[in-house]
Structure 1
Amino acid sequence: MAKGLRRKGANTVVWLLMAMLILGLGGFGVTSFGGATQSVATVGDREVDVNDYARALRAEVDALSAQFGQPISLAQAQAFGLDQGVRARLIAGAAMDVEADRIGLSAGDGQVRDQIIGASTFRGIDGQFDRELYTLALRQQGLTETEFEAELRDEAARVLLQGAVAGGIAAPAAYVEAIATWAGEARGFDHVVLTADLLTEPVPEPTDDQLVAFHAGNPAPFTAPETRVLSYAWLSPEAMLDEVPMDEAALRAEYDARIAEFVQPERRMVEQLVFGTEEEAATAKARIDAGDVSFEQLVNERGLALQDVDLGEVTQAELGAAGEGVFALEATGVVGPLPSDLGPALYAMNAILLAQEVSFEEAQDSLSEEVALDRARRMIADRAQELDDLLAGGATLQELAAEAGMEFGTVEVTAEGGEGLAAYIEVREVALAATPDDFPELHEMEDGGVFALQLDEVREPTLRPLAEVREQATALWIEAETSSRLLTEAEALAAAPDLAAAAADRGLEVTDVAPITRDGFVEGLPEGGVEAVFEMAEGETRALAGDGTDGASAHVVRLTSVALPAAEDEAAAQMRTALDTQARQGIAQDALELFTRAIEDEAGVTLNQSAINAVHAQMP
């Protein structure tokens, strides 16, 4: 479908200008391009103003930045073709202006006035049109009132012209009906699954010749992926533990700072339901005691859910004046009325969490390890600049390791991972992006360690010798041979005149699958099974190979019913409406695209590359 003039509603340019004016009021000004060059393109006698192009391009880059959640440079935006799209849209608008001028189409002063006064952008704090705000907003965007009002007038003419070109376009009824029928068609079928236990004889081990041929003819599962061999220097917090100074005073200070983790008073899991008066709370409690209602039902009567009244785990002190009463319960239950900050309340106590106290001596070992690792991370962070300077000074990884007490070695990395250092995601990312010409750089790890890599060798994907993968090859050959024999059985079953009887003779179950549409899913049907069902004629039976997801298997399907969507079916009617709307919009967009291109071809389009470059040069 055409892209050049796609609009989701009338007055797109107007609202774009309004959005940009809002940005302008927020302090984002647009550079005004002075000098003799005032246009980036010309269509006939209409120009695309350089400032209009700068504003539109800036708005698109800002929108793309918001979409990605980070600033996008012009170079990145150009990689998406953003600048070309902006120019095409502005040129298309200028072409529509040329045609509107030719046929004498224009908007009146009253329409322009109504648009300006009605725009919320220009309203003051009293909700009325503010002339000073209007003038300020235009000035911040580098526009005069005459320029802005001329743009509104042009846009109104464009909307009228576009409506005349695209209005009244209807989608071909046959096209809509054909697509709706295709998408809404539903098919039911019988399904039989054949698995390895159907075979009367187990598949034997393959001969050497069979295995050699299978290995050569199916290289994918036996091919080693690209492997990168890298030298590394690595310093982990664990490797620094021997250098970390530790003393009991530091550990005891850490224990005291985290005392809430080790010493916890008794807690209760409590829910609190507040009432307006003491009498209301007492009446509710009496209903609970009589067995007429549960606490949860009381909560629901108030239009609440249990999570709305849940206090979580609380101590006696946290419950204040109600604490003594709640903690007097020796088993779960409801107590009250008791005071709360919001008034008299009932409290449901659901669990007792006993007090716990871990002494310093009990916590010392775990504290020692945690504190030591934390100090080791800080020591590595403090040394990172020194290590980075050594690399920048030309030290090799081996020299770096020797001087800084780092581990030196080699590691093999694939896209799937690796062992040791290669198991770290950060290492794999750096390793897979490395080139032989890269100088080693220091990288941080999530656990506080640091490492540097140098690419030594890239081993291309290679077929592993059969001797290395013989066990795997044997298992795969047996599975493939089993699937082949099952498919043969499935083909014989599919050829039987009575599928149900033939399946029963083999002890197989026939599943009657309810009608599904083309986007349906059937548990147990192999990949491509639904597509196969929709290729069949009614009454046809077909054998299908398994897809290997659940081991060796084969399948038989027999198409039993074909149902086209009924005209009175609500879902089918909604689909037809959606398809009709989509088709009409697509045809209208294509018509506008062709109409605009014809105008551009007749009027002629000239690009001013120096002006375009000047705009780009002033954008970050």
Structure 2
Amino acid sequence: MITFFRSFFNSKIGVALSLIFVALIAVAFAASDVTGGASFGGVGSESVAQIGGEDIGTGEFSTTASNAFDQIRRQNPQLDMAAFDAQGGIDDVLEQMIGSYATATFAESIGLGASKRLVDSEIAGIQAFKGADGRFDETLFRNALAQQGLTEARVREDIRRGLLTDQLIIPATFGAKLSQQLALPYASLILEGREGQIAFVPSAAFAPKGNPTDAQLQKFFADNGARYRIPERRVLRFATFVTDRFRDQVKVSDAEIAALYKKRSAEFAATEKRDVEQLIVPTEAAAKAIAAKINGGASMAAAAKEAGLEPVDLGLQSRQDLAKSASVAVANAVFATAAGKVATPARSPLGWHVVRVDSVSSIAGRSLDQVRNVLENEIAQEKLRQTVSDFTADLEDRIADGASLADIAKDEKLELQVSPELLANGQAPGKPDFAPIGAYQAMLPIAFGLEEDSGPQLVEVQQGKEFAVFEVQEIKRAAPPPLASIRERVATDWALAQGLASARKLADGIAKSSRTPAALEKAVSGASVPLPGIEQIRTSRQTIMQQQGRVPPPVALLFSMAEGTTKVLEGPNRTGWFVVHLTKINRGDASKVPELMVATRQQLGQVTADEYGQQLMAAMKAEVKVQRNAAALQRVKDQLTGRNREN
């Protein structure tokens, strides 16, 4: 498989994008100009970047960015394209594509190649194109391309570029290692401990006492709108129906019951079962010897233990059960044996069976009248399933033919319901008590993947019991709510923001005069406003790592400071400033922990390999001369994020 893409960027979502690109290109569903030069957003054949003599067209780039966004959104349903762009996602997609083109162009310039046969083998190895027998299926391949709107030529070109890149990146990064001496200081950092003090200067202590004016609040809200932004919301219109509505259409005749009884007559006939224990040995002689001992009075367990075996209690078995699990010969021998006796040893593919019959149970047959209700219910359930299947298939055909949700509800006498404005996770910002239960759980994953003009959708709410047909009635793009609805919150934030500047002056003053713990304590106690008490911190990097990202920022700051220094750090949500003083560094020595050294060298070896890859990629981009079209890139971003619609 193609594994040439690595983490060549360090944005907030860069790692996820890298992994997604590997998956997308591996199955040939990414980086594809499906229109073959068709226009996009009115910019036609314009390119967003030129690499050597090749262009990345706006159509190709738009498709690839959309695919990458869709993949990430499956993991984070609340993400919208605007937020994806704000985090650098669209730019990262372009850099990935440029890297693919640049490495392939450079590879060709130095004589590397990827033959048609090699590309064929890559395609044949893609799991999505394999049939039930595990072999490449031409029909599956063609159908997959048609479903994605891809051409075979485009897919082959993507794979060819990937193979060329493999030939450059893999040799440059494979087997990268870090020496023992170079790894030692990094490993020792993990064992390092730090001691310090943390003080806090709250913004609230300096916040204005009065309320802000309307003009002040409006300006603050306009400047900080992103802080209050509500993700994209959707309003659903839907109707549900249960399968019980079709029960009156299901009729079961006496003839149908009689026919099913006849078909399953063996099941209802009188039968005999035997409670048995067995041993399986490799030879007939061994089986006869063990059987003789048991018939001579030895217990099954004792005879088995003497042979180094352990009997297995099979419980009640019918003749058919034994014939299926062992062999007909074993079944016949067992059912020719009385209770308390050992059957004549018989053979199966597993070996020779020594079977003791502990008891014999006779089960009386059941008449048609005795099982009528059971059979009638089975037939009714099967007919109901078929009726529901026919109805839903007809409903999907009507939807495909253009039937509206209102038409369907009217024809089927269904009650239409309208949801509140919903986020992708089912929360309703305007209704905190709303719970997305029932049909919502089935509709939401589909609803947030639909376009505004998509037709009605049919989903199964409870398997075989309840269905819903729905449509997206309205899409509300991500935006801040009206100021009036959150005025109190914004006013509080405004007050904190005003106090933040004054709190910073005090925090800076405390930090400047606090070169020792005693000096810090004196500065805090003598501050112009009452401050919270100083917190004493003593921890290690190992503890920090075990907390997996849940480390308070001022504690994390301790591990990036020089001993005896004091720094100031802004608290969350403008609540104030932390004054952090590092008193002591307790050095670690990883040379005494060999397993830590091994793990560190392995991890840093991968980091080294990634660095080699990044440097090689940068060099190849410079060699083939990459030109980016910022204006075209912005037009694609505007189209994808919907900014064109807003303007």
TM-score normalised over the length of structure 2: 0.41
TM-score normalised over the length of structure 1: 0.43
